[in-house]
Structure 1
């Protein structure tokens, strides 16, 4: 690991530049894929909204089902190597989807199968990525690195989403999916050039590793409390962004154009928030992170109150800023507090818990809006976010965990001898 005393800009560190470049390119391609996959499926013969939902579900469910497996694997082998494997698998999946769409013959079962492969690749990639950052960046600069990484990925995602419609209209959804496959290949090549410490072979079974990861996760009150909070928050946000927000925009705000302004404002806020979070220094990062969740409820409440578009957009920008302040402080705290050898497994439990109710939020939003009304459903989502956040603040560890408590962990990690350089990387 680089010496923590080195205070030169992180952009001068070639290892960090490789990691940041790989993530930026990959996320840019994913921005294309979000739009391209939907339009590609809808352009197929016999396409219906139900078929699109099925394909998207086939992509999303493996991310939840296999995320714990991804954490175990990432703590047993080189995380950089696993990320390369995941990128190659993802490239193959999107190349296959592109080929099916471009050929004009795309049986639903094959499209769903490739969507499952793409989702599985994400499940393998995410815990490995979370565990790789502390191996590339000094412990004392993790917050700065996480902020810079999120500025790059948020900017590239926004650019990808903005350009995707133009690309789909210009060259077609199939070629847009092919571009995403290329982005995965570029990410794999860049990640393969990373040089990170290797790790000793583990003799324990995968089940033992899974239990050890659970013990490391469940023994930290601040960790499982915030994950439980975000299981509710993410479900409410998914219901708003995926269903209720577009519904109220269509009914009262003028349709897709108004909703696109609101969503774009939030995306811009995430870029500003990541830049702010890279620099801010706080005494109690988990407390500040949890408090930064409250702004997420405000634009939802304003939508429920039929506020004008400009006011909702302003609050969505602020919620985007707060969301990335949370994300950077949260990621940094986990990376500092959790022993390196268990980091990916703990990250996988964090991912699993936070996303556990996300599909439920999407599934329940439509029927709830039909039963009690769209505005009432939005008000319920805002209330759930506020209640879950207040409940998290009841935890003494959430309120009291301070960086001073993490310094010994970070110091032990920095001073630990490396197992040996991973020659495969």
Structure 2
């Protein structure tokens, strides 16, 4: 008699690294998104106002921007999983200290800003290393599906974490939610410590940090499609933050019925994210970037809907379509990076991508109020929608964006051969040495 084979618990292409990375991302997203809300309420409970909440948020964003490029260079020089674990340890300790201060009632604004800044430093080093590690964890043939499912799991954890965090703050207070986030970072760091980097070639000493940054800059600027889309998103991300974080709550208060309807609209945006990720798990468009960039046009819909303003049902539809479109672009973008960027430069290129994409966000948040005072909220929202459309139309004029096509084997990895431990696509293989936000 033969013993029936045990059913697979995961797809054959989802190797150990991919599974660990996805699980750890779910854990950290569950904790971090609740902690973002908890930090704001902690500031308010300590006697701060809206301006103080903004200062704490800015304290996290500024070091993220300042240290991203250094983080990318280090992640391409050192084993990426060690950089990720070290960043998780820093985030765990800073959030634990934040939680202790809040629980003891001793939190001061400067202390909360300092601890938030340490969290931003951790994210600056973690982000490029994590993206490089994810991109090297799957084969070219399954990249699109893998990235779609990763984003689906991450977005689901993001939505759940925000909802759960908000509920827990009301029951047990913001300090304990921050403590839960610290524990989540500890667990995620432990999971990431088991990542296997044996399939990644050892990197030479190189010519130093500045030489690594120059090398990454040449890799970044040498691809027109890459820097053009990053410039596009420096504007798109900025206007989305201004519209959704600054103007959206005000429109909801004045015209849509308050925070309840606005929360519903944000929930529909998250549902669109999930729907887009599921769509991209099956759809493999041949012209990756053309499809992705075309799906940036719907990003302007929420700003336009808020400018009118439309009834809440129409706003929810606009948010759903926008959320779905973001995932189509996101998976297409990650697949293009996986296909085109050499493995040993992935983290540096990711750092330049992140840096360009977030550099204007603090400025946009700071200028949103003055722009509203100067032009009016409606005109400012139409301006956000218009900038999104114009920036996207300009990128479509770039031939490399329109013509880049999906290939079965990443160009930068075509001669690398299979990873040690199995053939590409086998249950134990992590895919070719080369490979992919």
Same fold (TM over 0.5): yes
Match of residue 426 from structure 2: none
Structure 2 unpaired stretches of 5+: 1-9, 422-429, 431-437
How far 1:413 sits from its partner (Å)? 4.2
Superposition TM-score, scaled by structure 1 size: 0.93
Q: Which one of the candidate residues 16, 28, 31 is aligned to 1:29?
A: 31
Aligned to 1:299: 302
How many angstroms does 1:109 deviate by?
Answer: 2.0
- Report deviation, 1:376: 1.3
* Match of residue 269 from structure 2: 266
Conservation of the 8 A alpha-carbon contact between 2:307 and 2:378: yes
The alpha-carbon deviation at position 102 of structure 1 amounts to 0.7
Q: Give the alignment of 1:94-133 within 5 angstroms.
A: 94-133=95-134
Distance 1:232 1:406, change over 3 A: farther
Q: Provide the alpha-carbon RMSD of the alignment.
A: 1.8
Show CA shifts across 1:340-370 (max 9, x none): 0111000000000111211122111111112
CA 1:275–1:373 in 2, change beyond 3 Å: closer, same or farther? same
Output one character per residue of 1:34-81: Cα deviation in whole Å (capped at 9) or x when no partner: 11110011111x312222211111111111111101100000011111
What is the aligned partner in structure 2 of residue 3 from structure 1? none
CA distance in 2, matches of 1:85, 1:10: 30
Q: Is the 8 A contact 1:340 1:413 kept in 2?
A: no
- Map Cα deviations across residues 90-149 of structure 1 (whole Å, 9 max, x no partner): 000100100110111112222211111101000011000110013321222221111111
Q: Does 1:344 align with 2:347?
A: yes
1:20 aligns with 2:8: no
Q: Match of 2:427?
A: none
Structure 2 counterpart of 1:38:
40
Match in the other structure for 2:64: 63
* Partner Cα distance (1:414, 1:150) in 2: 28
Residue 292 of structure 2 is aligned to residue 289 of structure 1: yes
Q: In 1, Cα distance between the equivalents of 2:35 and 2:252?
A: 24
Higher fraction of helix: 1
Give distance in 1, aligned partners of 2:135 and 2:301. 34
Q: What residue number does 2:235 align with?
A: 232
Do the aligned residues in 2 keep the contact of 1:20 with 1:149 (CA within 8 Å)?
Answer: yes
Of 327, 334, 337, 1:334 maps to 337
Query: What residue is the counterpart of 1:182 in the other structure?
Result: 183
> Who is 1:150 aligned against?
151
Cα deviations across residues 351-405 of structure 1 (Å, max 9, x unaligned)?
Answer: 0011121112211111111222111111110000000000000000001111239
Deviation at 1:253, TM superposition (A): 1.1
Question: Are residue 250 (structure 1) and residue 253 (structure 2) matched?
Answer: yes
Q: Which residue of 2 aligns with 1:192?
A: 193
What is the alpha-carbon distance in structure 1 between the residues aligned to residue 105 and residue 165 of structure 2? 20
- Which residue of the partner structure matches residue 203 of structure 1? 206
Contact 2:295 2:329 (8 Å CA) reproduced: yes
Report how far residue 323 of structure 1 moved: 0.2
- Identify the residue that residue 5 of structure 1 maps to in structure 2: none
> Is the Cα–Cα contact under 8 Å of residues 87 and 121 in structure 1 kept in the other structure?
yes
User: How many residue pairs were aligned?
Assistant: 412
Task: Give the whole-Å Cα distance in 2 for the aligned partners of 1:177 and 1:10.
Answer: 37
In structure 1, C-alpha distance between the alignment counterparts of 2:93 and 2:417, rounded to whole Å: 37
